[in-house]
Amino acid sequence: MRAVPAFLRGVVAVGALVALAGCAGPSGALRSGAATEPALQSMTQDGVTVSVAVLTAAQARERFGADLDAHGVQAAWIRVRNASPRGLWFIRNLLDPDFYSADEVASISEAEVPHGEREALRQRLRDESIRVFMQPAAITEGHLFLPKLEGGRYLDLRLQGDAWDEAQAAGTAPARPRELRFGFAVAMPDGEFDFEQLHPARIYAGRETPEVDAAGLRRALEALPCCTSDRGGSNPGDPLNVVLVGEAAEVMHALTRGGWSFTHRITAHTVGREIAAALSGSAYAVAPVSSLYAFDRSHDVALQRARRSIAQRSHMRLWLAPFLFEGRHVWVGQVSRDIGVKLTTKSPTLTTHVIDPEVDATREYLLHSLMARNLVERFGFVKGSAAAPREAPRRNLTDDPYFSDGLRLVVVLAQEAVAPGAARNLMWERSAAPIAEGQSPAAQRNVRPIGAAAE
């Protein structure tokens, strides 16, 4: 596995590299070496310690003797040290409802294995699968086979107490949480992701980055340019409509947990993949985004939420701002939804995405996706973005129209879980209702007072 940038160490939480004892490789005992020793993350709750790792393609191939990566399968290794007195059930489909069974993995990969070794492969995959019941006072470990994701994934691992915990049912044991939940954001670099080149400490090295209070943050954000621009800064692009407060690891963890993926940089290889995906209509969940500029540079990191094809995704570019809020970094960004692909001479790749003109709806989508995961401590809206009514939309660098109320969403990320109803509103500006701002007066027929004749 490639080296992980310093800012992601808090996300990846690289611990000691531990060989997975007892895992039989294709030629017998597991061999030592970096290829077979994935970096682990661990977390402990209520006497239960969970450790996880996602195997690279090379690690999985060495371990199982088949190229799982070529078939769109990733192996997650899970170890549960259950020092509690109760049994626990691993709810696999809550981690990923599309997980593969061992026999399914064997079926789709057996063609590359000699006929006489296929049954051994099938049995090895069965034997190395994680069990669903974790016995008390025991260590249970094994693999769960998942659909392949690139760049990173969030593992939401849930263990539920055994309903037949007789001691607890009889009242002779202290009450414990019914469900234990362990969340891990795992980065999987491959050398082409933009996050691999992100080093926040270097961006403003040698420059003062003042700390502002709430009022100062509001003034600073309102004073920023409305929009991104081209490299020369003379032509405005998509609006700067989102602000996230949190350290880099916190931002990446929150967005990964909220379903966002890292993106590839623009290279000959990734552009080729993007064109192939556009021609075939297939997905490319970590496709690069074009370069837009703010703070005199291209974006520092980009993320996206992929959909069914490369033409459909939500994407976000982020720039580190030159000031701090409550000792934490401030990230200013642009978020929008892609709804198509078009050819254009205004892009170095000759192709670009067409954005949904209702950019505020995607801004709200980001807020709601973070709230749904209990990741928002405070939120609000400030002036300063690009205001444009539906009747007179603005246009970005590739001539796509968009309209907006001209506000920027501000999210202070929670350092501990906050229920959606407990997230505090900064009460700075009131945003327009995104759908309503794109509708014509005729849509008012869908909103009428109770008791009206048409009720």
Higher-pLDDT residue of 287, 226: 226
pTM: 0.78
pLDDT of residue 196: 86
CA distance 214 to 216: 5
pLDDT of residue 159: 95
CB 338 within 8 A of CB 315: yes
Taking only the tens place, the pLDDT of each residue in 180-216 is: 999 998 888 787 888 888 899 999 999 999 999 999 9
Instruction: Of 248, 181, 247, 188, give the one whose Cα is nearest residue 43.
Output: 181
Residue type for 51, please?
S
Taking only the tens place, the pLDDT of each residue in 330-362 is: 999 999 887 766 566 566 555 566 678 888 988
Higher-pLDDT residue of 346, 138: 138
pLDDT interval class at 288 (50, 70, 90) = confident
Query: pLDDT above 70 covers what percent of the chain?
Result: 82
CB 96 within 8 A of CB 81: no
Give the mean pLDDT of 56-61. Answer: 92
- Classified as helix, coil or strand, 364 is helix
Instruction: Of 199, 3, 173, 149, give the one whose Cα is nearest residue 84.
Output: 173
pLDDT of residue 169: 57
| HSE-up (13 A, CA, CB side) for residue 1 | 22
CA distance 304 to 336: 10
For residue 186, count other CB atoms closer than 10 A to its CB.
Answer: 21
Strand partners, 303: 262, 316
- 70-74, 288-292, 359-363, 421-425: lowest mean pLDDT where? 288-292
Residue length, the chain?
A: 455
Q: Where are the domains of the chain?
A: 6-188, 194-442
DSSP string, 328-355: EEEEEEEEEEEEEEEE-TTSTTSEEEEE
CA distance 335 to 353: 13
CA distance 251 to 243: 11
Q: Which residues contact 388 (CB under 8 A, 6 or more apart)?
A: 394, 402, 403, 404, 406
| Helix or strand holding residue 76 (H, E) | strand 73-82
For the cut 80, the answer to whether the pLDDT of residue 438 exceeds it is no
